[in-house]
Amino acid sequence: MKTKETYRCAACGAQSPRWQGQCPSCKEWNTLEAVTVTRRDSRPVGAAASQATPQVLEDLESEHLGARTSGLPSLDHLLGEGLVPGAAILLGGEPGIGKSTLLLQLAGSQARLGHTAVYLSGEESLPQLKARADRLGLLGPGLLAMATNKVEDGLAVLEGPNPPELLIVDSVQTLASPLAEGIPGSVSQVRAVSSELVEKTKKCGTTLILVGHVTKDGQIAGPKLLEHMVDTVLYLEGDRKHFSRILRVLKNRFGPSDELIVFTMKEQGLEVVEDPATFFLGARDPSLSGTAMALAVDGQRPFAVEVQALVSKSFLTIPRRTALGFDTNRLNLLLAVLEKRLRLNLSGHDIYAKITGGLASRDPGLDLAVVAAVMSSFYDQPLPEASVYWGEIDLNGQVRPVAAHDVRLKQAARLGHGPVCHSGTAPTLADLQRLLFGKR
């Protein structure tokens, strides 16, 4: 056992790791008093040797997961079988992207199906949660909520006689454990809070969903151990200025790890886009120069997107190079290949390229569409109306094949596009230039 000194409010009983004039919970002044608390040592002393022995996997009985539906068929497919009892799920995403809305909808769906769901919030008060649930039309007898910053309150719910079937913690960085030092959100606190909750939910069979903050680089904040402790890692991304959201699976022990769901933000919450193949395409005018239709593959889904490029004369010493929706360094690489292999004089031009619809993709198959759009804007000639492009450009100007070629080909045919320009019809950039613009 170890001891440490902390400060407790004489008015409300809240604890603080350091002294301050005003209690952070009840806002009373000069009520924090120093107290000594006991903390368990995580390292066992004199523990007996483990009796575990290797076993033949073939002789073991298969374990049935017993997953239940989440109420959203697309989410069940994303997770593999649905919500698995005792599973721990980590959901990350930027602030304001819709994590709380999505999880509140999930809790409401569980309540409508007759399951008990508890929404534990460390960031919002109960009146705020009720107002949002009322706006989304989710209020019901099976939807429970609590507002607290103490992990002991969440553990008490799991240790009760009737533990809930779903516990949502929003967020893990706002809870504090007396077994660890530091303020909420610190590495030691996040590790202690998550380990206690995961251990308890696996014992009682409750499905646990932890919400994690993200850093400025888009990575889930906290120790990397947090992602290893959970069974599934989900990430909700999108542009807050657009209505589209994408939920990706980064890790999944119960199903595929390369699936995604496309949502659209409505007044009643997030709504699943059943056929996202042309969702990001929008209304495009193929008669304009500098636009190319591409088939990007994300996970196992093909998306038809429009790649736009604008090449204009620059009056700057260093011309601008801007890319939206894909890596700027990749754009610079493709422009260097165009200048070297096709001898295009792009050094005196500002070049802007983007993927419309708010989609961000790292698919290398977009290279061919970006190059076609740049050349179309440079020559100020529109591309063939029914053409679609995919292929990776190497440093020698060759068009290389990309993954899921047959999937893209079938999707192009389903969308009614006849002339298809891909890695099999345009082996070099020179061939593409001659085919589209008649240049040599």
Residue 425 pLDDT grade (very low, low, confident, very high; cuts 50, 70, 90): low
Do residues 135 and 223 both lie within one domain? yes
Residues 226/103, Cβ–Cβ less than 8 Å: no
Q: Does the annotation place 89 within a ligand binding site?
A: no
Q: What is the pLDDT of residues 128-181, one digit of tens each?
A: 999 999 999 888 888 899 999 999 999 999 998 889 999 999 989 899 998 888
User: In the prediction, which pLDDT does 103 show?
Assistant: 93
Give the chain's domain count: 3
pLDDT at residue 426 is higher than 70: no
What is the DSSP-derived secondary structure letter of residue 423? T
CATH number, domain of 303, equals 3.30.230.10
- N-to-C CA span, the chain: 80
Q: Does the annotation place 312 within a ligand binding site?
A: no
Share of the chain above pLDDT 70, in %: 91
pLDDT at residue 273 is higher than 70: yes
User: In the prediction, which pLDDT does 332 show?
Assistant: 95
- CA–CA dist 389, 304 (Å, integer): 10
Across the range 84-104, mean pLDDT stands at: 91
Across the range 382-386, mean pLDDT stands at: 89
Do residues 300 and 267 both lie within one domain? no
Q: Give the H/E segment covering residue 76.
A: helix 73-79
Asked if the structure places residue 63 within a domain, the reply is: no
Asked if the structure places residue 263 within a domain, the reply is: yes
Q: Does the annotation place 266 within a ligand binding site?
A: no
Domain interval for residue 225: 68-274
Asked if the structure places residue 54 within a domain, the reply is: no
Do residues 262 and 378 both lie within one domain? no
Cα-based torsion angle of the residue sequence 321, 312, 431, 282 in order, rounded to the nearest 10 degrees:
80
Asked if the structure places residue 57 within a domain, the reply is: no
pLDDT at residue 424 is higher than 80: no
Return the residue matching tokens 């005018």.
Answer: 285
pLDDT at residue 334 is higher than 70: yes
Q: Does the annotation place 261 within a ligand binding site?
A: no
pLDDT at residue 45 is higher than 80: no
Do residues 14 and 110 both lie within one domain? no
Residues 99/212, Cβ–Cβ less than 8 Å: no
* Residues in the chain, total: 440
User: In the prediction, which pLDDT does 47 show?
Assistant: 47
Collapsing DSSP states into helix, strand and coil, what is residue 173? Answer: helix
pLDDT at residue 8 is higher than 90: no
Q: What is the pLDDT of residues 282-333, one digit of tens each?
A: 778 888 999 999 988 887 788 889 999 999 999 998 999 999 988 999 999 9
Q: Give the H/E segment covering residue 337.
A: helix 328-341
* Closest by CA position to 242, among listed 333, 359, 349, 126: 359
Do residues 120 and 259 both lie within one domain? yes
Asked if the structure places residue 52 within a domain, the reply is: no
Q: How much is the pTM? A: 0.77
Across the range 258-287, mean pLDDT stands at: 84
Give, in degrees to the nearest 5, the angle at Cα 255 between 251 and 261: 75
User: In the prediction, which pLDDT does 199 show?
Assistant: 92
Across the range 258-265, mean pLDDT stands at: 87
- CA–CA dist 157, 298 (Å, integer): 39
pLDDT at residue 64 is higher than 70: no
Do residues 262 and 368 both lie within one domain? no
Residues 361/393, Cβ–Cβ less than 8 Å: no
Collapsing DSSP states into helix, strand and coil, what is residue 171? Answer: coil
Do residues 254 and 211 both lie within one domain? yes
Do residues 112 and 261 both lie within one domain? yes
Residues 101/269, Cβ–Cβ less than 8 Å: yes
77-98 per-residue burial string, b: 16 or more CB within 10 A, e: under 16: ebbbebbbbbbbbbbbbbeebb
Mean pLDDT of the chain: 86
Residue 227 pLDDT grade (very low, low, confident, very high; cuts 50, 70, 90): confident
Q: Does the annotation place 93 within a ligand binding site?
A: yes
CATH number, domain of 135, equals 3.40.50.300
User: In the prediction, which pLDDT does 376 show?
Assistant: 94
Do residues 7 and 150 both lie within one domain? no
Residues 347/307, Cβ–Cβ less than 8 Å: no
Asked if the structure places residue 12 within a domain, the reply is: yes
Asked if the structure places residue 62 within a domain, the reply is: no
Residues 11/31, Cβ–Cβ less than 8 Å: yes
Do residues 405 and 314 both lie within one domain? yes
Q: Does the annotation place 71 within a ligand binding site?
A: no
